[in-house]
């Protein structure tokens, strides 16, 4: 509570209300801001629905529970959350004396360093839970990176990139807080028409303010005697425009490749499918590549392509795909979230309206052969017919000659 006093004068001026409101920056860790945290959580949650599998499509045993503290879903969530928070994530491959994998641990980004000692690339870190310091070859670290442009090993610093946007957002939020704060203050000047000492003036001010601070005073009025008068000062504080908030929010969402609808789980199917293709799938692909390389085996981290599709659209897709024999019964049931039927479900059904290409070729070839045979038969018939006609013509001519000879012979005898 501040006041201004000109002592020993007939009129003493005192300001009521505390307007010492300081705008502060958000802090060093921008990922703690609610809108940034919600973006990271959104991407991590959807990625955690994926499963690890080998080249045969079977789940990998040691990745069903990568360590004693985390399930597969929690493990994937932590990888992606670190990736989107720090633009990179380090995973330590813990092996036993026989070089068999015991566990995989996601490391705290702040406790990791890449070092070169005697031309060997090493990695220094603190183990989770125990905090034990370890130095291992870089080859024992799965290093997943995002927004990787300016350094040979490390990803770019996301804190610096987002700092201005988050501070702008934080300043706007503090503007609302300031607006609410100042709108509830009594601001004005109390003019005391008496000569008072500083102690008396302060007491007078405290008594006046105490009437507002008193919880039992439900009227919101205060009383002054004829020694003083009160002149209110209007506040010009204004709430920031809503469009400014939306503009800053869109920029932060855009940085993560999201929209407000996706974060709030109100996006359409087409939006969610685009989200999968442009954001989720590239992350899963990179994790798959890094795991495959460092674990010396084929590791695929993938989501069902139709995970964001409605039940009705899945049914329609199954109708079309099964009619061409693209999906078997088990694959169709899995698409709808049902269990497989074993060997019986491995059958592929196909509509009778669709013909096997081999049969089509055979049918067409038979048709060509039949046509050729028919043409040959027609040619034979034509040739045979011509020969028959020629013989008949020759017979007729011979008959005519014989008839003429007999007629001539009779004419001579008659003569």
Average pLDDT, integer, range 317-337: 78
pLDDT at 236 over 70: no
Judge contact between 128 and 107, C-beta under 8 A: yes
Distances (CA, A) of 381 to 375, 384, 388: 10, 5, 10
Predicted confidence band of residue 157 (pLDDT cuts 50, 70, 90): confident
| CB-based burial label for 13 (10 Å; 0-12, 13-18, 19+) | middle
32-37 long-range Cβ contacts below 8 angstroms, 24+ apart = 33/166, 33/169, 33/170, 35/169, 35/249, 35/252, 35/253, 36/162, 36/166, 36/252
Minimum mean pLDDT among 120-124, 179-183, 274-278: which range?
179-183
Distances (CA, A) of 229 to 62, 237, 285: 80, 25, 74
**What is the pLDDT at residue 354?**
66
Phi, psi of 192 (to 5 degrees): -95, 120
pLDDT tens, 191-211? Answer: 777 676 777 777 777 777 766
**Predicted TM-score (pTM) of this structure:** 0.67
**What is the pLDDT at residue 220?**
58
pLDDT at 390 over 70: no
Average pLDDT, integer, range 356-376: 63
> What residues pair up with 234 in beta bridges, in sequence order?
none
**What is the pLDDT at residue 73?**
95
DSSP string spanning 248-288? HHHHHHHHTT--HHHHTT---HHHHHHHIIIIIHHHHHHHH
**What is the pLDDT at residue 14?**
42
The tokens describing 172, both together, are 């706007």
Rounded Cα distance between 24 and 13, Å, is: 31
**What is the pLDDT at residue 101?**
92
Average pLDDT, integer, range 298-319: 78
pLDDT > 70: what percent of the chain?
65
**What is the pLDDT at residue 119?**
83
**What is the pLDDT at residue 174?**
74
Average pLDDT, integer, range 25-38: 81
Residue 72: enclosing H or E segment and its boundaries? helix 72-86
pLDDT greater at residue 160 or residue 48: 48
pLDDT greater at residue 283 or residue 147: 283
pLDDT at 393 over 80: no
pLDDT at 39 over 90: yes
Handedness of CA 400, 401, 402, 403 (dihedral sign): positive
Mean pLDDT of the chain: 77
pLDDT at 143 over 50: yes
Predicted confidence band of residue 369 (pLDDT cuts 50, 70, 90): low
Judge contact between 168 and 252, C-beta under 8 A: no
Average pLDDT, integer, range 241-263: 89
Rounded Cα distance between 403 and 411, Å, is: 12
Rounded Cα distance between 104 and 114, Å, is: 19
pLDDT at 8 over 60: no
**What is the pLDDT at residue 129?**
80
pLDDT greater at residue 53 or residue 182: 53
Rounded Cα distance between 77 and 220, Å, is: 52
- Per-residue buried b or exposed e for 391-411, using 16+ beta carbons within 10 Å of the residue's own CB: eeeeeeeeeeeeeeeeeeeee
Average pLDDT, integer, range 159-170: 82
**What is the pLDDT at residue 180?**
64
Average pLDDT, integer, range 232-248: 73
Residues with Cβ within 8 Å of 256's Cβ and at least 6 positions away in sequence, in order, are: 39, 40, 42, 43, 84, 279
pLDDT at 273 over 80: yes
pLDDT at 96 over 80: yes
**What is the pLDDT at residue 407?**
67
pLDDT at 2 over 50: no
pLDDT > 90: what percent of the chain?
28
**What is the pLDDT at residue 247?**
86
Rounded Cα distance between 408 and 388, Å, is: 30
**What is the pLDDT at residue 237?**
61
pLDDT tens, 75-93? Answer: 999 999 999 999 999 999 9
Rounded Cα distance between 383 and 223, Å, is: 134
Rounded Cα distance between 346 and 106, Å, is: 38
């Amino acid at each position: 509570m501040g006041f201004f006093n000109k002592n020993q004068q007939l009129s003493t001026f005192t300001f009521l209300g505390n307007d010492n409101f300081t705008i502060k920056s958000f802090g060093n860790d921008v990922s703690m801001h609610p809108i940034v945290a919600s973006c990271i959580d959104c991407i991590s949650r959807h990625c955690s629905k994926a499963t690890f599998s080998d080249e045969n499509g079977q789940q990998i045993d040691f990745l069903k529970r990568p360590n004693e503290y985390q399930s597969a879903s929690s493990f994937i969530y932590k990888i992606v959350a670190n990736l989107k928070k720090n633009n990179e994530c380090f995973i330590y491959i813990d092996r036993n004396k026989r070089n068999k994998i015991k566990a995989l641990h996601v490391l705290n980004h702040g406790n990791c360093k890449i070092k070169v000692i005697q031309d060997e690339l090493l990695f220094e870190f603190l183990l989770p839970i125990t905090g034990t310091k370890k130095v291992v070859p870089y080859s024992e670290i799965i290093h997943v990176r995002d927004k990787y442009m300016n350094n040979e090993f490390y990803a770019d610093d996301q804190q610096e990139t987002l700092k201005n946007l988050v501070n702008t957002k934080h300043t706007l939020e503090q503007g609302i807080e300031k607006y609410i704060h100042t709108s509830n203050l009594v601001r004005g000047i109390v003019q005391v028409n008496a000569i008072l000492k500083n102690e008396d003036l302060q007491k007078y001010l405290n008594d006046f303010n105490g009437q507002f601070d008193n919880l039992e005073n439900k009227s919101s009025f205060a009383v002054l005697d004829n020694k003083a008068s009160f002149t209110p000062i209007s506040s010009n504080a204004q709430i920031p425009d809503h469009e400014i908030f939306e503009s800053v929010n869109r920029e932060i969402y855009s940085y993560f490749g999201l929209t407000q609808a996706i974060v709030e789980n109100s996006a359409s199917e087409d939006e969610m499918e685009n989200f999968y293709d442009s954001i989720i799938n590239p992350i899963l692909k990179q994790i798959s590549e890094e795991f495959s390389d460092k674990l010396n085996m084929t590791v695929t981290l993938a989501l069902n392509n139709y995970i964001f599709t409605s039940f009705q659209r899945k049914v329609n897709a199954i109708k079309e795909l099964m009619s061409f024999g693209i999906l078997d019964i088990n694959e169709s049931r899995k698409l709808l979230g049902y269990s497989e039927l074993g060997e019986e479900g491995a059958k592929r059904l196909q509509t009778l309206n669709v013909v096997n290409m081999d049969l089509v070729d055979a049918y067409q070839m038979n048709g060509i052969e039949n046509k050729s045979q028919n043409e040959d038969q027609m040619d034979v018939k034509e040739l045979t017919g011509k020969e028959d006609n020629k013989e008949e013509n020759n017979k007729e001519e011979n008959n005519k000659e014989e008839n003429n000879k007999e007629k001539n012979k009779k004419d001579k005898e008659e003569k």
